Amino acid sequence: MSQTQSRVPIIVTGGAGFIGSNFILQRLKHGSCSIINLDKLTYAGNLRNLESVSADQCYEFIRGDMGDRALVRRLLERSRPAAIVHFAAESHVDRSIRGPADFITTNIDGTFALLEETRAYWTALDADEKARFRFLHVSTDEVYGSLGPEDPPFSESTPYAPNSPYAASKAASDHLVRAYQHTYGLPTLTTNCSNNYGPFQFPEKLIPLMILNAKEGKPLPVYGDGMNVRDWLYVEDHCEAIATVLRDGRPGETYNIGGWNEKPNLEIVRVVCDLVDELLPRKESRRELITFVKDRPGHDRRYAMNAQKIERELGWRPRETFESGIRKTVCWYLEHEEWVRDVTSGGYREWIASHYSV
């Protein structure tokens, strides 16, 4: 049997997105599995992220919707995966405020359809295959709501209190995954992560938007007073954590994944400005481009993650400090102008212009 044939197959949903594509690249480099990437290719999905592995015999791309149950059924029957890693989701709070319907369709209805087909597939496996199979659902810290300045960080037992349509749709999908484990015995795992940053992130998100605007000398829009706090996690650390949970996590459990980096948005923007100034010097500091704009509706004040469980039980802790991770990220965006041009289409620019008004 060849090395390619001996690799365990897994299905990744949403693998052309930011975190999914980083996960696929990392896992194929690690060489522990073959991967089938099922992605609908919405605005944030970009196959250019995966150009380096497009010819890899251990990688296959299928364009399709996880809500297409017939497609998912055929894919499961053909590939006989040992695991499903479920990234596919609408994931931007601002977009969910403007148009929540897509978030309900993808994050709730789509996850339900995927769970139903997975349950049917898993039920038909033999005892050994059933015991090895895993369904890993990738979720967010936003399901927990907002923290006050002195509140303890979110733990796995923190009650859910989602405050945006996006967070509510992810909370609903988390509950579905939990119910399928409890009711049907499907061996599920859930991870709730803090704010990711790093290569291949769509430039509507804070860090890449600030890098690119700072490079081009454009205004740097900051919501409200800029003191909303987030815990920042470098994407490659997140992907390693997911692989650790997939390998060693206990079915039915939830694991919080955080970077131990609580920082207000304004500090993040200033750090980005200073790094761009260092790498692309100009006479004026990019900090002068910072522009405060009207706060978005229901903007959660603080997120923070207690990631002690995954460290204690599975031995994972992030490798990158914020200082090392943000430098790598700024350098990546400055060095990949062609990728940036490809994703920043006219439609994207119009959306940014309409949304971030002073």
The answer to whether residue 237 is catalytic is: no
Who contacts 98 (Cβ-Cβ below 8 Å, separation ≥6)?
355
Q: Which of 65, 141, 236, 262 is flagged as catalytic?
A: 141
Which helix (H) or strand (E) covers residue 191, if one does? Answer: strand 188-193
- pLDDT for the residue numbered 197: 98
**How far is it, in rounded angstroms, from Cα 246 to Cα 133?**
10
Residue 329, pLDDT > 60, answer: yes
Q: Which of 59, 121, 144, 166 is flagged as catalytic?
A: 166
Which helix (H) or strand (E) covers residue 13, if one does? Answer: strand 8-13
Q: How far is CA 248 from CA 20, 107, 183, 303, in A?
A: 20, 26, 22, 27
- pLDDT for the residue numbered 335: 97
Q: What is the mean pLDDT of residues 182-196?
A: 98
Q: Which of 216, 217, 228 is nearest to 266 (CA)?
A: 228
Q: Which of 97, 358, 47, 352 is nearest to 212 (CA)?
A: 352
pTM for the whole structure: 0.93
- Give the pLDDT band (50/70/90) at residue 2: very low
Residue 11, pLDDT > 60, answer: yes
Q: For 123-181, how does the pLDDT look when each residue is reduced to its tens digit (9 = 90+)?
A: 999 999 999 999 999 999 999 999 999 999 999 999 999 999 999 999 999 999 999 99
Query: How many other C-beta atoms are found inside a 10 Å radius of the C-beta of residue 271?
Result: 18
- pLDDT for the residue numbered 92: 76
The answer to whether residue 141 is catalytic is: yes
The answer to whether residue 144 is catalytic is: no
Residue 283, pLDDT > 50, answer: yes
Helices (H), the chain: 3-6, 18-30, 69-79, 93-98, 101-103, 111-123, 127-132, 165-184, 206-216, 235-248, 265-279, 308-314, 322-335, 337-343, 346-355
- pLDDT for the residue numbered 287: 98
Residue 357, pLDDT > 70, answer: no
- pLDDT for the residue numbered 204: 84
- pLDDT for the residue numbered 313: 98
Q: For 26-66, how does the pLDDT look when each residue is reduced to its tens digit (9 = 90+)?
A: 999 998 899 999 999 887 788 999 999 999 999 999 999 99
- pLDDT, averaged across the chain: 93
- pLDDT for the residue numbered 1: 32
Q: How far is CA 220 from CA 133, 206, 223, 323, in A?
A: 46, 10, 10, 20
Q: In what order do the strands lie in the sheet with 229-234?
A: 195-197, 229-234, 262-264
**How far is it, in rounded angstroms, from Cα 76 to Cα 82?**
10
Q: Which of 286, 262, 263, 266 is nearest to 225 (CA)?
A: 266
- pLDDT for the residue numbered 68: 98
Q: For 65-98, how does the pLDDT look when each residue is reduced to its tens digit (9 = 90+)?
A: 999 999 999 999 999 999 999 999 998 788 889 9
Q: Which of 90, 142, 204, 236 is flagged as catalytic?
A: 142
- pLDDT for the residue numbered 356: 52
- Give the pLDDT band (50/70/90) at residue 350: low
